[in-house]
Structure 1
Amino acid sequence: MTPNPRQSDLLEAVRVGGAITVEALAERFGVTLQTVRRDVKQLAEAGLVARFHGGVRLPGSTTENLAHRQREALNAEGKQRIARAIARAVPEGCSLLLNIGTTTEAVAREQLQHRGLRVITNNLNVAAILCDNPDCEVIVAGGVVRPRDRGVIGEAAVDFIRQFKVDIGLIGISGIEADGTLRDFDYREVTVARAIIAQSREVWLAADHVKFNRPAMVEVARFADLDRLYTDAAPPEPFPALLAEAGVQCEIA
C-alpha cells in the first residue's frame, strides 16, 4: 500500500515513539478512535506497524527486514526526493557502486538520462532499471541471488567488487542507531556493503528519515566512513552533532 498523508504522519509518530496508544493518536490527529483503528489495521496488514491491545508499535524485529514491496511503499515520496537530489549531484561520466535497497533503486530510476556512467551493482533491480539507459554500462556482481529483493550477496560478490575502485559508492541502509552506527539485517549483505565502502573514493548514504533510530542486527559502518548523507527531513537528535563530528555533509532533499 501507499500510505495517505495522515497514515504517513501516524507512521512517523510510531517511529519516534516506538509505541503509542490509539487514544493518543486520535487526540494528536484530531480524528475518531474508529478512524485511527482503521488506519492502523491497514498499516498492520501491509506489515508497516504491529498492533497490540489498545495501541500500535513498530514491527520491531532486529533480525528481519520488511518485504521488498512494503519497503517500496514506505515513504516512497521521500525516497524519490532523495533520488532526485542525488541525481543532480552525480556528474556525468563517472563510476559508481550501488548496493541493495529500494532507495538505491529510486536513485537508479533518476539516472536514466545520465551519460557516460559505469555502474557496478549487486542489485539486480538496479541493473534492470539502468539497462534502459543506452549510455550507461552496467556491471553485475556474481554471487547468490536473494529471492525476496533480487540482491546478490555472499563472498563471491565481495571478491568481485574488490576488483574495482570507483568515484562514488552509493549505499542504502536499513537502520541508523543513536550511536551513529549504520546497520542492516543480513550479514551476507553487510559484507558486500563494506566492500563497496572500501572500494569507493567517496561514500554517499541515501537514507530517508524513517531509518533514523531504527534497529537492525549487523553493523555496516559508522558516520566517519561517509562523505555525504542524503535524506528527506532534518535528522532528529542526537544525529546532527554526530554527523558534524564525523565531518559528513548532510543534504536534505
Structure 2
Amino acid sequence: MEERRERKMRRLERHRFIVDYLTTNKSADVSFLSEKLNVSEVTVRKDLRQLELDGLLQRSHGGAVLNERLFAEPSFMEKEDRLTGEKTAIAAEAAGLIEDGMTVALSSGTTVGRLARMIKDRTSLTVVTNAMNVASELTGAAGVQVYLTGGYIRPHTFALVGETAENALEGVYTDYIFFGTNGLSFEHGLTTPSMEEARVVRKLIDHAKHVVLLVDHSKFNHTAFYRIAAVDRVHTVITDREAPAEEVARLEAGGIRVIVV
C-alpha cells in the first residue's frame, strides 16, 4: 500500500513538472523530459498520454505542447447567465451555514456573488473577500463588516489578486471559506485559469477552519490551468442534482460532506 502511494506521488510530481514546464516554454520533447525527470522515455510517453487524456496538453511528434484551452475563461457576465437555477440553489444552501457573529471568507465567482446577496440580513458578521462583486453586494448592509483586500482586478472574475492581495491576508483567519472553482478533478484537484487568483484563494483556504466548495455539475471532471488546492482540503461540497453520482460517491468516500440541492 505504501509503495503504491509513493509511486502515485512520484507520478503526480512528474505531471506537475511537465505542466509547469509547458506553461513557461509551450513545448517540450520526450528526450529532454526523460533527462530532466530521470526516468525512461517510455515512462515519459505514458505520462504525456495521461496528461493528454486529462486535457492538459497535446502530444506532438517526439514531445508535447501546452493545451491553450486551459487558459480559456468566459467573461463574468457570460458565467452569470449560465445555470442560474443551480447556482441560486447552491448559494441558498450555503447561506444557511452562515450565522450571526461569524467571520467568513468569500472568494470571487458568480455563485459566491449570489451567496453574498443572501446574507445581507446577518448581524455582527465579518466578511473577508478579494472579490469586488462581493464587496459591492454587501456595501450598506448594516450588520456586515467587509474586509476587502487590495490588489489589481482580474476583469474576468472581478477578483483582486497579486502580492498586495496575498499580503493583506497575513494574520487573517476565518470560521468558514466559501469559494468556487473552474474545474474539479481527483487527479489534478481544484483548478482555475489564473495562477494569481489560485494563490489568493489558497491562502483563504489555509486560514479557514472549515472549507466549503460551491460547485455546479458542469465543473466536475474538468481541469483548468492552475491548481488551487487538492480535493481533500475541502470539508463540505454543495452541488446540484446533475452532479455525477460516481464523483459524489468518491467525495463522500474521502470523508467530504456532500450536500446536493
Q: TM-score interval w.r.t. the shorter chain?
A: 0.7 to 0.9
1:207-238 Cα shifts (integer Å, max 9, x gaps):
11111122211111122101100111253154
Tell me which of 103, 106, 110 is aligned to 2:118. 110
Correspondence for 2:93: 85
Correspondence for 2:237: 229
Distance in 2, matches of 1:80 and 1:237, equals 21
Q: Which moved more, 1:199-208 or 1:211-220?
A: 211-220
Correspondence for 1:44: none
* 1:77-226 matches, cutoff 5 A: 77-179=85-187, 181-226=189-234
Structure 1: which 5+ runs fail to align?
1-59
Q: What's the CA shift for 1:79?
A: 0.4
Which protein is bigger by CA-based radius of gyration? 2
Correspondence for 2:74: 66
SS in 2 for 1:134: coil
Q: What's the CA shift for 1:195?
A: 0.2
SS in 1 for 2:238: strand
Distance in 2, matches of 1:180 and 1:233, equals 23
1:103-142 Cα shifts (integer Å, max 9, x gaps):
1101101111122210010001100101131110001001
Distance in 1, matches of 2:71 and 2:188, equals 19
- What percentage of aligned pairs have identical amino acids? 26
Q: Which moved more, 1:170-179 or 1:119-128?
A: 170-179
Q: Residue 114 of structure 1 contacts residue 136 of structure 1 at CA under 8 Å; is this kept in 2?
A: yes
Q: Residue 94 of structure 1 contacts residue 167 of structure 1 at CA under 8 Å; is this kept in 2?
A: yes
SS in 2 for 1:251: strand
Distance in 2, matches of 1:245 and 1:252, equals 15
Q: Residue 105 of structure 2 contacts residue 129 of structure 2 at CA under 8 Å; is this kept in 1?
A: yes
Structure 2: which 5+ runs fail to align?
1-67
Distance in 2, matches of 1:61 and 1:147, equals 18
Distance in 1, matches of 2:83 and 2:177, equals 23
Change in CA separation of 1:252 and 1:161 when aligned onto 2, cut-off 3 Å: same
Distance in 1, matches of 2:256 and 2:93, equals 16
Change in CA separation of 1:233 and 1:179 when aligned onto 2, cut-off 3 Å: farther
Distance in 2, matches of 1:149 and 1:235, equals 23
Distance in 1, matches of 2:250 and 2:233, equals 12
Q: Residue 223 of structure 1 contacts residue 246 of structure 1 at CA under 8 Å; is this kept in 2?
A: no
The alignment covers a number of residue pairs equal to 194
Q: Residue 223 of structure 1 contacts residue 242 of structure 1 at CA under 8 Å; is this kept in 2?
A: no
SS in 1 for 2:258: strand
* 1:44-63 matches, cutoff 5 A: 61-63=69-71
SS in 2 for 1:119: strand
Q: Does 1:242 align with 2:247?
A: no
Structure possessing the higher relative contact order (Cα contacts under 8 Å, 6 or more residues apart): 1
Q: What's the CA shift for 1:90?
A: 1.3
Q: Residue 103 of structure 2 contacts residue 176 of structure 2 at CA under 8 Å; is this kept in 1?
A: yes
Change in CA separation of 1:151 and 1:195 when aligned onto 2, cut-off 3 Å: same
Q: Which moved more, 1:238-247 or 1:220-229?
A: 238-247
1:26-80 Cα shifts (integer Å, max 9, x gaps):
xxxxxxxxxxxxxxxxxxxxxxxxxxxxxxxxxx921121111110011011100
SS in 2 for 1:89: coil
Q: What's the TM-score once normalised by structure 1's chain length? A: 0.73
